[in-house]
A and B are shown apart, each in its own frame.
Chain A
Amino acid sequence: MGAKKFEQVAQEIKGKSILVANRGIPARRVVRAIRETFQAVPVMTVTEVDRTSPSTAAAQELLLLGADPRAYLNIDLVIKKANLRGIVAIHPGWGFAAEDDSFPQKCEAAGITFIGPSQQAMRMLGNKVEVRKLAKRLGVPVVPGSEGAVDVPTARKVAAELGLPIMLKAEGGGGGRGIYEVYNEADLESAFSKASAMAQASFGNPRLYVEKLLTSVRHIEIQVIADTYGNVFAFDERDCTVQRNHQKLIEITPSPWPGMTEELRERLKEYAAILVKEVGYYSVCTVEFLVDREGTPYLIEVNTRLQVEHGITECRYGVDLVEEQIAIAFGARLRFNKNNTRPLLWSLQCRINCEDPQGGFSPNAGMITRYTTPGGPGIRIDSCIGPGYEFPSQYDSAAALLIAYAPTWKKTLAIMDRGLREYTIGGVKTTIPFHRQIIAHPKFQAGDHDTNFVDNTPELMCYTDLEPEELRLSRLVAEISAKGYNPYVQLGEYRTPFCKRVGTFTPVIPPMDLEAHDIPYPRGDRRAVLDMVRETREKGVIHFVDTTTRDITQSNSGNRFRLAEDRLIGPYLDSCRFFSLENGGGAHFHVAMLANMTYPFSEAHEWNQFAPKTMKQLLIRSTNVLGYKPQPINIMRKTAEKVCEEYDVIRCFDFLNHVENMKPFAEVALSENNKGNIWQPAISLSWAKGFDVPHYLGVADNLITMSAEAAGLSKKKIQRVIILALKDMGGVCPPHFVRELVTTLRKKYPELVLDYHRHYTDGLFVPAVGAAAQAGAHILDVAIGASVRWYGQGEVLSTAAYVEQEFGLSNVLNKKVIRDCNFLLKQIMPFYDRYTAPYFRGIDYDVVEHGMPGGATSSSQEGALKQGYIHLLPYMLQFLAGTRKIVRYHDVTPGSQITWNTAFLAVTGAFKRGGEREVRHLLEVLETVASVTDDKLTPAEREDRLRLYQDSNDAFRQLLLGRYGKLPLGFPPDWVYQSAFGSDWRRAVAERTTHSPLDDLADVDLAEEFKALRTRLKRHPSEEEFVMYLNHPGDALKTIEQRQTFGDANNVPLDVWFEGLEVGREITFSDSKGKPHIMTILHITRPDEGGMSVVRYVLDAEITSHQIKVAEAKAEAGQSIELADRNNEWHVAAPSNGDLWVVHVQPGDFVKRGEELFNISIMKQEKAVLAPRDGMVVRVLKDADYRQDKRMVPVKEGELLVELGPVPRLCSACRHPVTRDEYKFCPFCSQNLMEPEATDGN
């Protein structure tokens, strides 16, 4: 038979049936060539599970192989069926039976053309020992080693010649299997016997040969194609050096390695060609080499089939290897030669597998829920998946081969990076993000890597695998909609899906006044700003700070503005010509994270973009910084540095006025690096005996002295560069007192700028700030009308009008913009008001007696009401008034909580002892003790007063010991200690200290903390995340996690945020990149027995669904299983599919961390599942006791089996158990158990 031309063969094959005996990617690849080149009939083998796989799409017919998933290996079955079908040729693809050398023979016997090499040639090149002999004979270098199989003495001799380390390789092994590395001579003998036994067991052939073990090598291979007439063509090399466990991950042609010279390339091609020619091999094959650092090649093996990575060679040359291979099998002459087949492009392939690289590359079968492929110039995809495809677990994890090609290496890398970014595979974990890590790695880009690259480069594993933000946000919307309330704002189940809605939030945006662009304050230079304030004040101009977005709207997590609403009103506020906008700090910081999933510093940063003109201000709680407990100095400083980047005015208070507690912050704020920052120490103000003008003058002097030290300036100079704030957080100081205080301060420190900050609680906001203004204060804190509530500041325009009309003080405010801003706020506030806690929001003049500040009264009332002590509330307030005369400090965070708890405990304690009668008696004693000197007390009264603090909590006792800092008027009398500490009181008195708590707090190891956070996140945390974590570790992690789960929740419209989305309504929202998305909920199912509801919705054009747990599972849940919430550390799930055979616990049991809860048999491995933490067993969802009833209960991976609950929480104050999870207040002592809301807003 003469040599046929390709076209002849093509004509010959046309319309004939050709079978691909394979599945997945190779089957699809070959089928495509059969169809497009030859117009032949492509037939594909399928097992049952593969019948509907996407790969079958291009096949014209399927050849059914039955249920056995391994039937692709059954050559006899395949040939039998092929014969019956009238198949003329079989292509084996790669993998499965492609290298079984009986395949060509059996095809021939059946009269079918085998599209591949002859059996003879396959044996010559495919057998490692044979090919090695052949190579040596032809002068092709091989890895030095023994001549064929050896015995132990020969092995030892060879080892001595080669030097260690060596490898023992099974003659019958391959593909990285059956290799044993030997590093010590002593191990040789035992390794040999084991390797031999294993080889016998594995391959039915115990024979071993010895090879030198090469370290630091590249894997370089040459693609060869040859016809039956002895024409051979070798292509440029493929570099497959990026591997894991001998599995190739990425292939490149040509090699980007600088050591790959033209000379070496030609040599390798020459070696490959002579091997192929020598044995008369035809079809395609790949000759694989290892190349060491010096460029010395060693032949390792020849693959006698088409390879996975053949596509990159096709892209480099612009050829189709498969059509050529098919034609050759039918006798065509090879068309390729050096003249017509030249390398044109670079090409790079990433193997996209359904594996989780961060989970040890574990295979990941499941439903492909989303599928979007990349495209555009330079991209080729060969895949076997599609949307909705249930990726099977029976086969390997290869999902797609993504190839990029371009004229340069750099462009190829860029296309691949772009392609990987465009590629979306949802529902299963894939290697896509891992490939992006590799592509971005400088060593990879430089070609400077070896076969151990993946193992030796752990940073490749540091990435976050996130789904698109719109999808994550849509799940949040679905969850709020199904529940009817937003669980993340932490207001409880404040509404249901059936409640009447406030309505759609479509605000009317007032036109921005373009004239209002000038701001009188020279932001960025503290000296200039303060000079300007002083000079204008001389001329009768008073200045205003706006607190609308912080102090007014922060305490209750429901009414704390989201960044989304800040974005709306911020630009207006920015043009109102306020001195500064207080938009951060205090409880605001924490609530931003907790309730709004917002990063506080990113928020502040954005503020400076949408409101760039006006200074920003925040509030710091001295040692507690932005949290609730004292922080060591280095955390204070670290936080201060971050704060100074985004805020101009740093207000800092201490509830004891212990000025040393503020010093680390002062040092940072006053440093020369931060010359735009204005340090604003605040005096915490009460109005009571002892807390008089001379006392506060002393505090002011201390603050000035401390600030002067921190700045390294004189006491005189410092007064010109700082502001002193008078912080009347309770709203208790009467106007006459304020007037007197400000007058005295102004007189003593004429250069010092004063800011008066007070709350509305006593109803005297306007006269009091008026008095301050009249007496010479420079700055007053106010807010925009629609946001004003009694617990915050007063209203700006009325206050400005009052001081103008009464005292002739003018201002620089832009009243028109203020009105516009107010109009916008009027549209926003209804949503926040509706879902704010309804407790006490009125005026209470009695605050001047009891001193309970801001939001603390409403949360206190809530506590008393919910615990059934509302009838005792008047007594508690009376107790507060009395105790403030005995133990003296200021009622602001954390002092306000301590005072409240003390009163609550004393009053309820007395009530338990003897009813209201006893309470009244206690209060009489208190009144007497507080008003009479010691010597006038009767012995009975001296005895009775010891009951006053006998029920007090630990925080109160810590305060008495001086652990929060120095008490402003000194320690209380000894009997207080006697009452609070009992018999131990003398030791308590001896232990008291007046040092700053900072003196005793050791610095935190920041590097270690950073490492801990990085480990936890599996990626590098941002600086901001780190500072968040240092201040509120648990809640920061929660916020970061929520951010990863849902994206930026500020993109959700306001009404949807609180009320969810009604079925059928369409909303448009933007993602963080500004791309708009449309979402409509189609249907929300009724909760099933497991309490699960499915929300079906359209997101953009795609219909998808999200399952949400909206109710508790019914007791007798049917077939549906309840999945454990992976983020709930109380949920104990089945660790994998298996059989539950014994459960050791029952509801109500207490378990210790590490105790065995239940045991699952997984393929006869017995997995003890241990309690993840101490707790109480709440539910046991499945029970088993195999030894009793010989029954095992099948369980699914992730199925909830045991739910633990906290060992009833211990109250942080009184250490009594808090028996119900939903309790916000300790039923015993009324300690507020919800930290952020426990604050009074400061």
Chain B
Amino acid sequence: MDQGIHLWRAGRTGLAEPLTPDGLAALHPAWAEAVAGHGPWREEGAWLVAATPVDTPVLIAGPCTSTQDVLAALAGELDLPAWTSLLSPVQRTGRGQLRRAWLSPPGNLFVSSLWPTPDKPWATLLPLLAGVAVAVGLRDLGLEAWVKWPNDILVNGQKVVGILVEDRGGRIIVGTGFNCLSSPAAAELRPGHAVPAGSLAAAGLALGPLDLWLEIGPRIRKVVSEVLAQSPQTFVRQAEELLALRGRMVSVLDGETRVTGRIRGLALDGGLRLSREDGEQILYSGHILYL
């Protein structure tokens, strides 16, 4: 698979629907703009390739279950290089961590990227790294983004991006859902959600899904490559600077247990350091709720 924007017109039963530029354009005005802006599209087997040059393969698949599944399937078959990404305009069963649902209406960005497999010391730090990379990318684009441990992205106290890092048979596939233009209403969120949802457009970054990805994708890649060249400890110190809710009293819900304490920062292995009355506790799972 070469560099450039590729549209998977053939699709595959059970994986992704066939897709045409017109069909894509019909899904949302932002996509219509993208289809026109990056055309003309030339044929290349099962794919259509956009005129805009891009320095990694960016794949667009038709409506699918989840971009994670499509990329995992194609990665093995096509021997895709690291940093190949795959977008879809709509996900039917988009998922967050622990297979929670991620609402995926047209107009928002659902993208999965194939990351290089890092050295072992990084194994537990990837979710955090994904969060930091997206936050730095958004900061580059002018938003004051913070990382709510380990990788929810908050702007103005609202969650605008969700991240799912999966290791599938040794391939690291990072799924990222950006609320570009719309965000779920409070009632649509999972009961017990921690923070309200917001959109990037409302925060001042009004880009359609493809254009947002072309802006932020390379930035994420660059950050990750640079961070991986440093030591994990260095990275954790950097990540701490972007950590949301530092010093705040929070409660962390892990399954049915709830731990309350003040966020002190990050442990060297990426765990969340919570100071409690009876000493410090380092957490590796659970999600943060405000108090």
Residues of A in contact with B (beta carbons under 8 Å apart): 67-69, 175-177, 180, 190-191, 193-194, 197-198, 200-202, 204, 245, 247, 359-363, 393-394, 396, 1136, 1138-1139, 1141-1142, 1154, 1156, 1161-1168, 1170, 1186-1187, 1190-1192
- 9 A-B pairs in the complex with CB atoms less than 8 angstroms apart: A69-B268, A362-B121, A393-B269, A1138-B284, A1162-B124, A1162-B284, A1163-B271, A1164-B127, A1190-B256
Tell me whether A201 and B121 are in contact in the complex, defined as CB-CB below 8 angstroms, given that A176-B230, A1163-B150, A1166-B97 are known contacts.
no
Q: Are B230 and A198 in contact (CB under 8 A)?
A: no
State the CA gap A1190–B279 with chains docked (Å): 27
Contacts of A201 in B (CB 8 A): 132, 136, 139, 238, 241-242
Q: Does B226 contact A (CB under 8 A)?
A: yes
Tell me whether A197 and B167 are in contact in the complex, defined as CB-CB below 8 angstroms, given that A1162-B124, A1163-B285, A1191-B255 are known contacts.
no
State the CA gap A67–B126 with chains docked (Å): 27
Q: Which of A194, A200, A393 contacts B222 (CB 8 A)?
A: A194
Contacts of A394 in B (CB 8 A): 268
Chain A residue nearest in CB terms to B136? A197
Chain A binding surface, main DSSP class: mixed
Q: Does B17 contact A (CB under 8 A)?
A: no
Chain A residue nearest in CB terms to B121? A362
Chain B residue nearest in CB terms to A1139? B285
Chain B residue nearest in CB terms to A191? B222
Contacts of A200 in B (CB 8 A): 139
Q: How far is the CB of B58 from chain A (nearest CB, A)?
A: 17
State the CA gap A1166–B238 with chains docked (Å): 24
Contact with A along B260-280 (1 / 0, CB 8 A): 000000001111000000011
Contacts of B166 in A (CB 8 A): 1165-1168
State the CA gap A1161–B132 with chains docked (Å): 19
Q: Which of A198, A247, A363, A1154 contacts B223 (CB 8 A)?
A: A198
Q: Are A1166 and B165 in contact (CB under 8 A)?
A: yes
Q: Are A190 and B255 in contact (CB under 8 A)?
A: no
Interface residues of B in 135-181 (CB under 8 A from A): 136, 139-140, 150-151, 164-169
State the CA gap A194–B269 with chains docked (Å): 25
State the CA gap A191–B226 with chains docked (Å): 11
Q: Are A197 and B139 in contact (CB under 8 A)?
A: yes
State the CA gap A819–B120 with chains docked (Å): 63
Chain A residue nearest in CB terms to B264? A68
Contacts of B59 in A (CB 8 A): none
Interface residues of B in 216-239 (CB under 8 A from A): 218-219, 222-223, 226, 229-231, 233-234, 237-238
Chain B residue nearest in CB terms to A68? B280
Q: Are A362 and B98 in contact (CB under 8 A)?
A: no
Q: Are A1141 and B279 in contact (CB under 8 A)?
A: no
Tell me whether A1164 and B226 are in contact in the complex, defined as CB-CB below 8 angstroms, given that A360-B121, A1190-B255 are known contacts.
no
Q: Are B255 and A1192 in contact (CB under 8 A)?
A: yes
Q: Are A1165 and B165 in contact (CB under 8 A)?
A: yes
State the CA gap A363–B233 with chains docked (Å): 12
- Chain A CB count within 10 A is highest, among B169, B233, B256, for B169
Q: How far is the CB of A174 from chain B (nearest CB, A)?
A: 10
Contacts of B126 in A (CB 8 A): 1165
Contacts of A245 in B (CB 8 A): 229-231
State the CA gap A1179–B29 with chains docked (Å): 53
Q: Are A1161 and B226 in contact (CB under 8 A)?
A: no
State the CA gap A843–B99 with chains docked (Å): 70
Q: Are B140 and A1154 in contact (CB under 8 A)?
A: no
**Other A-B pairs beyond A1139-B284, A1164-B165, A1190-B255, 17, CB < 8 Å:** A176-B230, A190-B219, A197-B136, A200-B139, A360-B120, A361-B119, A1142-B99, A1154-B169, A1163-B124, A1163-B150, A1163-B269, A1163-B285, A1165-B127, A1167-B166, A1191-B255, A1191-B256, A1192-B255
Q: Does B128 contact A (CB under 8 A)?
A: yes
Q: Does B80 contact A (CB under 8 A)?
A: no
Q: Which of B99, B119, B222, B241 contacts A204 (CB 8 A)?
A: B241
Q: How far is the CB of A99 from chain B (nearest CB, A)?
A: 14
Q: Does B202 contact A (CB under 8 A)?
A: no
Q: Are A198 and B226 in contact (CB under 8 A)?
A: yes
Contacts of A396 in B (CB 8 A): 233
Q: Does B27 contact A (CB under 8 A)?
A: no
Contacts of B98 in A (CB 8 A): 1141, 1161, 1166, 1186-1187
Q: How far is the CB of B19 from chain A (nearest CB, A)?
A: 27
Contacts of A204 in B (CB 8 A): 241
Contacts of A177 in B (CB 8 A): 230, 234
Contacts of A1187 in B (CB 8 A): 98-99
Q: Are A67 and B279 in contact (CB under 8 A)?
A: yes
Contacts of B219 in A (CB 8 A): 190, 194
Q: Does B74 contact A (CB under 8 A)?
A: no
Q: Does B123 contact A (CB under 8 A)?
A: yes
Q: Are A1163 and B226 in contact (CB under 8 A)?
A: no
Contacts of A193 in B (CB 8 A): 140
Chain A residue nearest in CB terms to B279? A67
Q: Does B10 contact A (CB under 8 A)?
A: no
Q: How far is the CB of B23 from chain A (nearest CB, A)?
A: 32
State the CA gap A1190–B254 with chains docked (Å): 9
- Chain A CB count within 10 A is highest, among B98, B121, B218, for B98
Q: Are A202 and B238 in contact (CB under 8 A)?
A: yes
Contacts of B168 in A (CB 8 A): 1156, 1168, 1170
Contacts of B32 in A (CB 8 A): none
Tell me whether A198 and B238 are in contact in the complex, defined as CB-CB below 8 angstroms, given that A176-B230, A362-B119 are known contacts.
yes
Contacts of B124 in A (CB 8 A): 1136, 1162-1163, 1165
Q: Are B121 and A1166 in contact (CB under 8 A)?
A: no
Chain A residue nearest in CB terms to B163? A1164
Q: Are B120 and A194 in contact (CB under 8 A)?
A: no
Q: Does B125 contact A (CB under 8 A)?
A: yes
Q: How far is the CB of A18 from chain B (nearest CB, A)?
A: 29
Q: How far is the CB of A643 from chain B (nearest CB, A)?
A: 41
Q: Are B151 and A1166 in contact (CB under 8 A)?
A: no
Contact with A along B102-133 (1 / 0, CB 8 A): 00000000000000000111011111100010
Chain B residue nearest in CB terms to A1160? B167
Contacts of B164 in A (CB 8 A): 1166
Contacts of B254 in A (CB 8 A): 1192
Contact with A along B52-70 (1 / 0, CB 8 A): 0000000000000000000
State the CA gap A1168–B164 with chains docked (Å): 13
State the CA gap A193–B222 with chains docked (Å): 11
